[in-house]
Chain A
Amino acid sequence: MKGHKEKKSAAALKAAFPQTIPILAGFLFLGITYGIYMNASGFSFIYPMIMSLVIFGGSLEFVAVQMLLSVFAPLQTLLMSVMIQARHLFYGIAMLDKFKGTGWKKPYLIFGMCDESFSINCSAKIPEGVDKGWFMLWVTALNQLYWFSGATIGGLLGSLITFNTEGLDFVMTAMFVVIFLDQWLKERRHYTALIGVSVSAACLLIFGADSFMVPTMACILCLLTVFRKPIAKSLEEGSDDPK
């Protein structure tokens, strides 16, 4: 029995790893940047190391450095965290079904559901015969390993790293563009994709880069609710994807 189980997880790792390579590049780079930033702000490498493990959400961890450097404000810290991370509420709703039946892996899958792990787990075509739960577990764990390694290396080496990596962070943008494009090509009608892009862009223009996500989410929810009939119909018509 044990041998069978090991085979199952090994096959899933083999299928999962290639999917995470862009994140390997992106997270090592961003993690190192984050570690260097903490180091330069006067914190020991223990801080980025622990924060990458318990928070595991890139944008908030950068903001948390500022919080640690200012006056102790617990309520504000909690509220800020919920606001910055609010988009994860959407991820949970989208993954309610996919995480069903994953057993003991489920709490970790939810714990480690950052933007990148969500995007891969939500969009990847898991090969025939590969265990879904193990696949998603590996994607999540590998991503966290990359982020943790980057943050710790950056915290340890600090400003020793000097080669020109300007622009490497574009790897994350490129990956999201590809995932968005794949989703686009799968659908016959693009109602929700268009809602996502146009609402976000409009809210970004109106509310600015620091506070556009919560209004964006509220507007997306409103539009999806108001236009439920046509959208639900287009979803039922299904995709061109033979699944």
Chain B
Amino acid sequence: MTLSQQIVTIALCAAGTMLTRFLPFLIFSSKKPTPKYVQYLGKALPAAIFGMLVVYCLKNVNVFAGSHGLPELISIVIVIALHLWKRQMLLSVAGGTVCYMLLVQFVF
């Protein structure tokens, strides 16, 4: 690839990203009232998206081979337990991550 082809490639990646980020705001301008259906989606989507993102993070875990996803499962249980106990985001995240690092480096 020549330098100008590289620049175009990077620019197209940026353009594709921006298209997906700006499109909803371009279609539903803040001047006109947003359709009821889209308002409903705006309220209903976040919980579904957060669930989707958790699965997205775990997409490369193979439960049928290797460590069978056990380090991930154990660490997520730790995260949930810590969070239900103290409700401190940083503590839950740090505790789960340290647990995961110890598991993949020393146990599995």
Contact = CB atoms under 8 A, between A and B. Distances in A.
Interface of A: 18-19, 21-22, 25, 47, 50-51, 54-57, 60-61, 64, 67-68, 71-72, 74, 77-82, 84-97, 99-100, 106, 110-111, 113, 115, 118-119, 122-123, 164-168, 170-184, 187, 190, 192-197, 199-201, 204, 209, 212-213, 216-217, 220-221, 224, 228, 231-232, 235
Contacts of A217: 52
A118 B17 CA distance: 14
Interface residues of B, number: 69
B32 to A, nearest CB: 12
B66 interface: no
Nearest to A228: B40
Contacts of A54: 10-11, 14
Nearest to A54: B14
B89 A22 contact: yes
Interface of B: 1-2, 5-6, 8-25, 28, 30, 34, 37-60, 71-72, 75-76, 79-80, 83-84, 89-90, 92-94, 96-97, 100-101, 103-105
A180 B96 contact: no
Nearest to A72: B5
Contacts of B92: 174, 178
A228 B93 CA distance: 34
A81 B14 CA distance: 8
Nearest to B40: A232
Counting chain A CB atoms within 10 Å of each CB, the highest count among B16, B23, B34 belongs to B16
Contact of B38 (A93, A195, A209): A93
A187 B38 CA distance: 20
A194 to B, nearest CB: 7
Contacts of A118: 49
Given A87-B52, A170-B97, A60 B44 contact: no
Contacts of A82: 16, 19-20
Contact of A68 (B6, B43, B57): B6
Given A22-B93, A86-B20, 17 more contacts: A55-B14, A64-B9, A87-B49, A87-B56, A89-B24, A94-B42, A94-B49, A166-B104, A170-B72, A178-B93, A181-B80, A182-B83, A183-B47, A220-B45, A221-B41, A231-B44, A232-B44
